[in-house]
């Protein structure tokens, strides 16, 4: 049941957002070791969002997943920030990845 919510100030067209959602679904499936059929993704692009006091490209990614393993969060954060850097050119240090396990 993983659900990922990406909030970013990077401007993306509707098609780019849809493509990013599919790519992020696949990356999450691989990283979280869950079937892509169970993963949901929401993309909110071109939002008013600041990080470190500037409007430079930034993000917040919330990963909600039952059975999260906090000891893996550092590696997962790197996986997701590297992905965002590659796909939408946001630097790894320009946002947060927040993990939430609704079962705890």
CATH classification at residue 29: 3.30.429.10
Give pLDDT tens digits for 15-38: 999 999 999 999 999 999 999 999
pTM (predicted TM-score): 0.94
Coil/strand/helix, residue 83? helix
- Is 53:60 a contact under the CB 8 Å cutoff? no
Cα–Cα dist 5/100, whole Å? 11
> Which domain range does residue 33 map to?
3-100
User: How many structural domains does the chain have?
Assistant: 1
pLDDT digits (tens, 9 = 90+) for 39-95: 999 999 999 999 999 999 999 999 999 988 889 999 999 999 999 999 999 999 999
């Amino acid at each position: 049941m993983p659900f990922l919510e990406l909030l970013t100030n990077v401007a993306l067209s509707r098609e780019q957002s849809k493509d990013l959602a599919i790519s992020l679904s696949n990356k999450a499936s691989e990283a979280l070791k869950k079937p892509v059929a169970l993963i949901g993704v929401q993309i909110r692009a071109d939002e008013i969002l600041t990080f470190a006091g500037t409007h430079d490209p930034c993000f917040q990614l919330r990963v909600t997943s039952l059975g999260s393993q906090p000891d893996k969060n550092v590696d997962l954060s790197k996986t997701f920030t590297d992905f965002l850097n590659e796909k939408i050119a946001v630097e790894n240090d320009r946002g947060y990845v927040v993990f939430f396990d609704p079962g705890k």
